[in-house]
Structure 1
Amino acid sequence: MLIQIDHGCDRPVYLQIADQVKRDVALGRVAEGDRLPTVRELSSRLVINPNTIAKAYRELEHQGIIITRPGSGSYIAQGSSRLSEAVREKLIREQIDRLMVEAIHMQIDRRQLFGWIEEALAKFKFPEKGAGDGEDRG
């Protein structure tokens, strides 16, 4: 797992780490049950405070992305997020709204934005549920 920190970014470092772990899961780069680097290993590799790594791992655990086994380490969790469907929908809709605001401010053409979204949909690994793939909407 390759994690890169952008110290010039407004987003807190612990959230950058959490975002990148979630991205690797979504892209299929890490699988359920895979072990994450220890706090000490990742802290040393990224040259940042171990408390920052621990905070990122706590955030990921809170979201149901990872599980931590005392004395054993942190692992990618089995199954989906523990967040309720209503909470997941709310969080995703908020992200979509932020994306739309940015696209409008950057004067991105609607068709171009949809094209980029289609490319992203093809690139990422989605859970196989049937109803959630958008194919039945027209």
Structure 2
Amino acid sequence: MEAIRDACPGAWLIIGDFNLILEESNKNNARINRRNLRNFRHTVAMLELLDLHLHARSYTWSNEQDSPILIKLDHALVSVDWEEQFPNCFLQALSSDASDHCPLLLCTSAAYHPKLHFHFDCFWLKLEGYKDAIT
């Protein structure tokens, strides 16, 4: 990444599943590999990147168990140049029944930050225990 960064000056955006966390709060339990966390934080800092704030969710991945492990593995890392070029950007997590990761939607010219609304996903009706959860 360092070699690529040095060869490509200007605005940077790297978005996707990094399979790593940047903060302990990116995971819903205390089983954290702190060495990996420190190494990832060091790399992000060395590349002078910022983690865009994720709206609508705290976590982007679930193991989908009864007592789920929830982790923010997906990040949008941007350079200061990129953030200055797109000051009204808005990163939002969406719903998906096709993956254990939630898709990310990045709008680079959000004129306003939309209010968060509850959205019902029809696939919830098919989940085991759905009726028990709502009664």
Normalised TM-score (structure 1): 0.23
Normalised TM-score (structure 2): 0.24
- Answer 1 or 2: which has greater helix percent: 1
